[in-house]
């Protein structure tokens, strides 16, 4: 993530939640969020899936149809890079996934300098939360607005170790990060109390899992070609050039709370 974008996320003081949101019910929604599986069942009508492994043997899944992958989903796709770029990298990530944070802190700036800034490629990040706290973090990024989405995502990944903790402590620490990005307590509560946004993030996860076979984070699709696990710049260079990609690093299994040895209370 470009440094000036991260500074903008930290300094801006005009974050706005979507119009029409109401603060009442925020505490209840937070209980749903930290409840993980129960949250989706109660609000979204969808059950989180639990995987017993990190997604099976590499190469056993077919790549999705590119047109289907790029079709509009529950939430609008936001591009990092020019929308008419020749190559598109779609990333499914969780805000509490340490491998995802490592990608955004180390590899993404290299990709941006080599491919995004000159229009050769773009990134589309799609929400694939592994737990309720990750849902809340993605909600904050969406509430920051389209132009501040990626700066907010970058700020959250940069500070992941400080806020990705179980239960109410996670909420309070996430609020501190949100305040640094310009959210007031009222706007924070309005945002994480937005059940429609919550449901759309869950639907995005559902679509990624059921339609495109995503079961671990990070999962990338480079022009439709699947690339899973922790990657280096070399892996993306190979994929973008059409060559065989180097072996991937580890991925966070679907349903895991990767930032903690124990899941948040209620999961």
pLDDT tens-digit map of 84-122: 999 999 999 999 999 999 999 999 999 999 999 999 999
- pLDDT level of residue 258 (50, 70, 90 thresholds): very low
pTM for the structure as a whole: 0.74
Q: Is the pLDDT of residue 267 over 60?
A: no
pLDDT tens-digit map of 21-45: 444 445 555 555 545 433 443 333 3
Q: Is the pLDDT of residue 53 over 70?
A: no
The number of distinct structural domains making up the chain is: 1
Task: Report if residue 267 sits inside a domain.
Answer: no
Task: Report if residue 116 sits inside a domain.
Answer: yes
Task: Report if residue 35 sits inside a domain.
Answer: yes
Task: Report if residue 259 sits inside a domain.
Answer: no
Residue 8: phi and psi, rounded to 5, are -65, -40
Task: Report if residue 212 sits inside a domain.
Answer: yes
Q: Is the pLDDT of residue 168 over 70?
A: yes
Q: Is the pLDDT of residue 149 over 60?
A: yes
Q: Is the pLDDT of residue 20 over 90?
A: no
Specify the pairing of strand 225-228 against strand 219-222.
Answer: antiparallel
Task: Report if residue 258 sits inside a domain.
Answer: no
Domain that holds residue 46: 3-12+22-55+63-253
Task: Report if residue 135 sits inside a domain.
Answer: yes
């Amino acid at each position: 993530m470009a440094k000036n974008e991260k500074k903008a996320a930290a300094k801006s003081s005009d974050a706005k939640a979507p119009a029409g949101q109401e603060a009442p019910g925020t505490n209840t929604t937070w209980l749903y969020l930290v409840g993980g599986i129960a949250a989706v069942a109660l609000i979204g009508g969808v059950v989180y899936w639990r995987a017993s492994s990190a997604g099976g043997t590499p190469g056993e899944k077919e790549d999705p149809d590119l047109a289907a992958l790029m079709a509009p989903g529950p939430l609008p796709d936001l591009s990092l890079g020019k929308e008419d770029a020749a190559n598109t990298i779609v990333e499914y990530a969780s805000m509490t996934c340490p491998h995802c944070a490592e990608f955004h802190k180390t590899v993404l700036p290299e990709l941006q300098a080599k491919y995004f800034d000159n229009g050769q490629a773009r990134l589309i990040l799609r929400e694939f939360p592994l737990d309720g706290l990750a849902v809340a973090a993605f909600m904050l990024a969406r509430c920051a607005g389209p132009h501040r989405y990626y700066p907010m995502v970058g700020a959250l990944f940069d500070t992941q170790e400080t806020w990705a903790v179980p239960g109410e402590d996670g909420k309070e620490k996430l609020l501190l990060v949100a305040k640094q990005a310009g959210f007031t307590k009222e706007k924070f509560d309005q945002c994480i109390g937005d059940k429609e946004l919550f449901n759309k993030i869950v639907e995005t996860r559902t679509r990624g899992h059921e339609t495109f076979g995503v079961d671990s984070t990070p999962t990338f699709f480079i022009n439709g070609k699947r690339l899973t696990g922790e990657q280096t710049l070399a892996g993306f260079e190979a994929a973008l050039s059409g060559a065989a990609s180097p072996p991937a690093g580890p991925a966070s299994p679907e349903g895991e709370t990767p930032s903690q040895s124990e899941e948040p209370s209620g999961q």
